[in-house]
């Protein structure tokens, strides 16, 4: 820890005096006023976080040519899962339904 960090840690004790160690009668809630430097550091950090998040977000690929066999997004996910597990067993039935020769 540097000298500046130690001074910054002891600052609240100096400013609050006896109330640094509260008793049942002390009221410290809402009395803290952040320093201008602290607010600037926080703003800078939040802006960096926003920039970092913007770099990593990406749009999912959407295929316009794919058949629409769902009514909403939740149903689309369910259909993909069902196709993944049962697609090899239902391929012939799907082909018959598309041709109109299903029994």
pTM score, whole prediction: 0.35
Task: Give the Cα separation of 60 and 58 in Å (integer).
Answer: 6
First to last CA, the chain: 80
Tokens of 89: 């067993």
User: Tokens standing for 93?
Assistant: 């039935």
Residue 78 placed within a domain: yes
Which domain does 77 fall in, by range? 68-97
Q: Is 82 inside any structural domain?
A: yes
Residue 72 within any structural domain of the chain: yes
pLDDT tens for 71-94 read 988 998 999 999 999 999 988 888
Q: Where are the beta strands (DSSP E) in the chain?
A: none
CA distances 37 to 16, 23, 40, Å, are: 19, 30, 5
* Residue 48 covered by a domain: no
- Position 92 in a domain: yes
pLDDT tens sequence across 3-28: 555 555 555 556 556 666 777 777 76
**80 part of a folded domain:** yes
| Residue 79 · residue 69 · CB < 8 Å | yes
63 domain residue, yes or no: no
């Amino acid at each position: 820890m540097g000298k500046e960090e130690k001074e910054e840690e002891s600052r609240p004790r100096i400013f609050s005096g006896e109330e640094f160690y509260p008793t049942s009668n002390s009221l410290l809630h809402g009395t803290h006023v952040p320093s201008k430097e602290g607010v600037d550091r926080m703003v800078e950090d939040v802006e960096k976080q926003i920039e970092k998040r913007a770099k990593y977000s990406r749009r999912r690929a959407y295929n316009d040519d794919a058949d629409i066999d769902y009514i909403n997004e939740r149903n689309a996910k369910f259909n993909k899962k069902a196709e993944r597990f049962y697609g090899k067993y239902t391929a012939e039935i799907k082909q018959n339904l598309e041709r109109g020769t299903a029994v």
